[in-house]
Amino acid sequence: MGRIYTFVNQKGGVGKTTSAINLAAYLGRFGLRVLIIDLDPQANATSCLNIDRHIIQGGTYQVLIGASPPEAFVLYNPRLKLSILPANAELAGAEIELVSEIARESKLRSAIRSLIEKYDYILIDCPPSLGLLTLNGIVAAKDGLIIPVQCEYLALEGLGRLMDTIRRVRSALFPELTIRGVLLTMFDSRTNLSNEVVAEVKRFFPNNVFQTIIPRSVRLAEAPSFGKPIVLYAPQSSGALAYEAFTQELLQGDGVFIPTPIQQS
């Protein structure tokens, strides 16, 4: 049965999309069946994977409003060995349209139930807010949340509100909701600040921080403009090695055994 993880942090620019895309690409490389669900109206995950907007007939929006089963709009990229349920422009309106719906926070969770058997991993990429789209992402996170935190000034700012939201979801809708882990991103070993943030985040989440830390890497920032995950763009770069290590750490924690080593291309 597939695992579902949701990348969440209402702060923008902390590495949610970068982490979801690159984890997905390595999982695909390792031979696992992976689906990314782009829940952000800005559609960064969709564009990072070089998906031509003209071929997108529908996506997360149609699934959220119940107009269509998710299978109808999932696109498979054979080169990347991963699938994506893309975000399209209409998704921006979903936040408002869903307000009057019954069980509005659980729409995505119910809609993707049929996909759980078809994938080993489903990764949901949330927008930078705590609105109804993100709530749907949180409620759908069957196996937990992955919270990217940037190793920068004010890294913990806003996490209190996120924790409040998580507590509210637990008490009202989904008591088993867990945090799979906090992923430290954009670490700069040359600065004391990065090290201080790591220590601070580990104090805030004593049992929940992934051991792998993602360094700041120009290659990671460049890769999306070539429509490629880092494993295809610069597989030997520090960012690539870090996301590969993160993937292995996650798989190990999940008890998933990888039979074949990764092949470089």
Ligand X SMILES: Nc1ncnc2c1ncn2[C@@H]1O[C@H](COP(=O)(O)OP(=O)(O)O)[C@@H](O)[C@H]1O
Nearer to Mg ion, 185 or 247 (CB): 185
Binding site for ligand X (CB under 6 A): 12-18, 44, 128, 185-186, 214, 216-217, 220-221, 224, 239
Residues 6+ apart with CB under 8 A from 41: 87, 89, 91, 92, 94, 127, 133
220 binds, among ligand X, Mg ion, none (CB under 5 to 8 A by kind): ligand X
Contact flag: residue 62 with Mg ion (CB under 5 A)? no
Contact flag: residue 46 with Mg ion (CB under 5 A)? no
221 binds, among ligand X, Mg ion, none (CB under 5 to 8 A by kind): ligand X
| Cα of 99 vs its chain's centroid, Å | 24
Nearer to ligand X, 105 or 152 (CB): 152
Q: What number of CA atoms fall less than 13 Å from residue 127's CA on the CB side?
A: 19
Nearer to ligand X, 60 or 185 (CB): 185
DSSP E strand stretches across 104-144: 121-125
Nearer to ligand X, 63 or 183 (CB): 183
Contact flag: residue 10 with Mg ion (CB under 5 A)? no
The 8-class DSSP code of residue 214 comes to P
> Using the rule CB under 5 A, which residue among 6, 10, 19, 44 binds Mg ion?
44
237 binds, among Mg ion, ligand X, none (CB under 5 to 8 A by kind): none
Task: Give the residue from 264, 244, 253, 261 showing the smallest Cα distance to 23.
Answer: 244
Nearest-angstrom CA–CA distance, 89 and 109: 21
Nearest-angstrom CA–CA distance, 57 and 89: 11
Bridge pairing between strands 75-77 and 82-85: antiparallel
Contact flag: residue 16 with Mg ion (CB under 5 A)? yes
Nearer to Mg ion, 44 or 60 (CB): 44
| Cα of 220 vs its chain's centroid, Å | 16
Q: What residues make contact with Mg ion under the rule CB under 5 A?
A: 16-17, 44
